[in-house]
Each structure stands twice: as structure tokens, then as C-alpha cells.
Amino acid sequence: MAKIQLNGKKISIKSNFSILDLVKKYNLDNKKIAVEYNGEIIPKIKYKKKILKNKDKLEIVHFIGGG
């Protein structure tokens, strides 16, 4: 079990949880989000390989269209 910070809130996740697992858990659309992991923007192709660790900080932002 690891404790991370997601968009300013502390949450607990399972061990060996990837960014992709987190995206799926919250039913987020991969095409409409960007993920910042410990201050660095992570390319979508790395979501599956990036395993989250205790005290990691993530910010997930949604893109919203409009005019």
C-alpha cells in the first residue's frame, strides 16, 4: 500500500499501481487529460510503465473544449 497526493488530496493505492491504473480507476479519458508526476509531464505512452511510489505527487488536468 502506498500513499500519494492526487490533485492536492492524499489517497491510498495498491502496491505496483501505475498511472494507467489510476486513470482507469477514476474512469478518465486518456485523450482528454494530462498527467504531471512529481513536477514532470508524463507522455501517455509511459502511463503503463510508471509505477507509483509512496509520497508521489500527481496532478491530473482535463481538457475542456468551448468557445
Give dist(CA 6, CA 2) in Å, integer: 12
Q: Looking at residue 48, which CATH number applies to its domain? A: 3.10.20.30
Specify if 57 maps to a domain: yes
Per the structure, the complete domain to which residue 44 belongs is given by 2-62
Q: Is residue 55 part of a domain?
A: yes
34 part of a folded domain? yes
Exposed (0-12), middle (13-18) or buried (19+): which is 21, by Cβ within 10 Å?
middle
Domain count, the chain: 1
For the stretch 4-55, pLDDT in tens is 999 999 999 998 999 999 999 999 998 899 999 999 999 999 999 999 999 9
Please report whether residue 29 resides in a domain.
yes
Q: How far is CA 42 from the centre of its chain?
A: 9
Task: Tell me the pTM.
Answer: 0.88
Residue at 19 is within a domain: yes
